Amino acid sequence: MYLRRAGLQSIFAFFAIELPLTGLPAPRFLMTTCQVGAEAALKHELAIRWPEFRFSYSRPGFLTFKLPPDAEIRDDFELGAVFARWYGFNFGKATGTDEATRLAAVATMVGDRQFDQLHIFPRDRYAPGDHRYEPGLTHESDMVDAALRAQLGDHITHEASPSAEEGQLVLDVVLVGPEEWWGGWHRARSRVSRWPGGLRRLETPVGMVSRAYLKLMEGLEWSRLPLKPGQVCAEIGCAPGGACQALLEVGMHVIGIDPAEVDSKVAAHPNFVHIRKRGHEVRRGEFHAVRWLFADLNVAPSYTLDTIEEIVTHPTVHIRGMIVTLKLLEWSLADELPAYLERIRSWGFTSVRARQLQHNRQEVCVVAEKPG
Ligand SMILES: C[S@@+](CC[C@H](N)C(=O)[O-])C[C@H]1O[C@@H](n2cnc3c(N)ncnc32)[C@H](O)[C@@H]1O
């Protein structure tokens, strides 16, 4: 092994080990963030997918795992966990009652290394919706970002950006508590790994009909489904209409299906049609022109999947891709996710992925796609 322990270097809880050939810290701990409440689901996922990782430390919304001593993390490493909003490799911790002390501790951690980008983000404080809480970057994370950039100078080689470039090396600082920052790094690869903490800034438009607007926009950005303006979409469970509002905004023609009332801003849009029925009551002919299907039903996942299956497996229906919200009415339903995804694959969708989005509540977003 090439590992060399540098040992304790200050009064701060701080360690570092180095891989001399690259100057990058050799990974000993994986850090992850998730929605408050999703910790057990994330631990369970990792126990199955990475049994050699040992759960180590956690706070609500923040977990660390000790990696095996001989771990060699390849550059294209993907954790592959639905409930991990972000992950990176730890190489230090900055504690102390005043900010100057913590800033200096991060600078010591960085040493003479250079990183392409700096990402500062908080762990979540509450479950989404609890105390009207929305996960996201904060005024505090912006302030720490500015202060650390000033402190680190040209150790961060690129200007601040809402999204790192693919392949860039990112220095991460997770604001775990007011006096507790955890430092680490990751290589930006997937779309979400390029966003600080996997988080996008909330841009709540004036007149937003429901939070589902944000959820849908995030789902589109994450999934990169190749929707083209003018194509026809359908959403099952569309009321009051936030997701349809987002789809209309990106130029889609939208069929909204829901027995409940849709907000007048959406209902009056010339490219919107409301079918006031339950999903299974809609004639299959109504889906003839539909290429993209969305579903956001406040029912158990198996019911959502039954409703979708009847539609997408019908011979006259040609759905190219879909974004489905599966409500985890109980957290224990998270264990069923692999089976839910397998069921969707069995309908002919070759690419099926799931992620708990920043704007998801106790639910996950599934994207499924057929080749174009
Ligand atoms: C979470 S809300 C949907 C929010 C919506 N997507 C938005 O953008 O505002 C769930 C909706 O599912 C609807 N729903 C429940 N079962 C349904 C079914 N079988 N078919 C259609 N809609 C259903 C409910 O009436 C409710 O309006």
281: domain CATH number is 3.40.50.150
- Has residue 300 been placed in a domain? yes
328 in the same domain as 223: yes
Mean pLDDT of 26-31: 89
Q: Please tell me the distance between residue 229's alpha carbon and the centre of ligand 1 in angstroms.
A: 24
Contact in structure between 296 and 266 (CB atoms under 8 Å): no
> Looking at ligand 1, which residue's alpha carbon is closest to its atom 27?
239
- The CATH number of whichever domain residue 186 belongs to comes to 3.30.2130.30
284 in the same domain as 164: no
166 in the same domain as 221: no
* Listed residue (93, 25, 82, 76) closest to 49, CA to CA: 82
Contact in structure between 125 and 119 (CB atoms under 8 Å): no
Give how many domains the chain has, as a whole number: 2
> Looking at ligand 1, which residue's alpha carbon is closest to its atom 19?
278
> Which domain range does residue 293 map to?
212-369
275 in the same domain as 134: no
Query: Domain boundary at 168, 198, 228, which?
Result: 198
To the question of pTM greater than 0.75 for the whole model, the response is yes
Confidence of residue 228 (pLDDT cuts 50, 70, 90): very high
114 in the same domain as 12: yes
Q: Please tell me the distance between residue 22's alpha carbon and the centre of ligand 1 in angstroms.
A: 52
Q: Please tell me the distance between residue 235's alpha carbon and the centre of ligand 1 in angstroms.
A: 9
285 in the same domain as 244: yes
- Has residue 204 been placed in a domain? no
Burial degree of 278 (CB within 10 A; 0-12, 13-18, 19+) = middle
Q: Please tell me the distance between residue 363's alpha carbon and the centre of ligand 1 in angstroms.
A: 14
Residue 9 has pLDDT above 60, yes or no: no
Task: Looking at the CA of residue 303, tell me the nearest atom of ligand 1.
Answer: 19
Mean pLDDT of 56-77: 89
Task: Looking at the CA of residue 212, tell me the nearest atom of ligand 1.
Answer: 8
Residue 2 has pLDDT above 80, yes or no: no
145 in the same domain as 57: yes
Cα(2)–Cα(349) distance, rounded to whole angstroms? 44
Q: Which of 214, 282, 298, 305 to mutate to test the pocket of ligand 1 (most atoms within 8 A of CB)?
A: 298
Tokens (6 digits) for 333: 């339903």
Confidence of residue 16 (pLDDT cuts 50, 70, 90): very low
Query: Domain boundary at 198, 232, 247, which?
Result: 198
> Looking at ligand 1, which residue's alpha carbon is closest to its atom 24?
237
Cα(182)–Cα(87) distance, rounded to whole angstroms? 12
Q: Please tell me the distance between residue 331's alpha carbon and the centre of ligand 1 in angstroms.
A: 20
176 in the same domain as 88: yes
Q: Which residues line ligand 1 (CB under 6 A)?
A: 210, 212, 236-243, 257-260, 278-279, 296-299, 307
Confidence of residue 22 (pLDDT cuts 50, 70, 90): low
Task: Looking at the CA of residue 215, tell me the nearest atom of ligand 1.
Answer: 8
Cα(104)–Cα(327) distance, rounded to whole angstroms? 44
Task: Looking at the CA of residue 239, tell me the nearest atom of ligand 1.
Answer: 27
- Has residue 123 been placed in a domain? yes
- Has residue 65 been placed in a domain? yes
Q: Give the pLDDT score at 20.
A: 37
- Has residue 207 been placed in a domain? no
Q: Give the tens place of pLDDT for each residue, 168-217.
A: 999 999 999 999 999 999 999 999 999 999 999 877 899 999 999 999 99
Mean pLDDT of 229-252: 98
129 in the same domain as 269: no
237 in the same domain as 190: no
Query: Domain boundary at 137, 164, 198, which?
Result: 198
Task: Looking at the CA of residue 279, tell me the nearest atom of ligand 1.
Answer: 20
187 in the same domain as 243: no
- Has residue 227 been placed in a domain? yes
Over the chain, what is the mean pLDDT? Answer: 91
The dihedral formed by the CA atoms of 82, 83, 86 and 87, expressed in degrees to the nearest 10: -80
Confidence of residue 142 (pLDDT cuts 50, 70, 90): very high
Residue 7 has pLDDT above 80, yes or no: no
Q: Which amino acid is at 114?
A: Q
DSSP state of 115: B
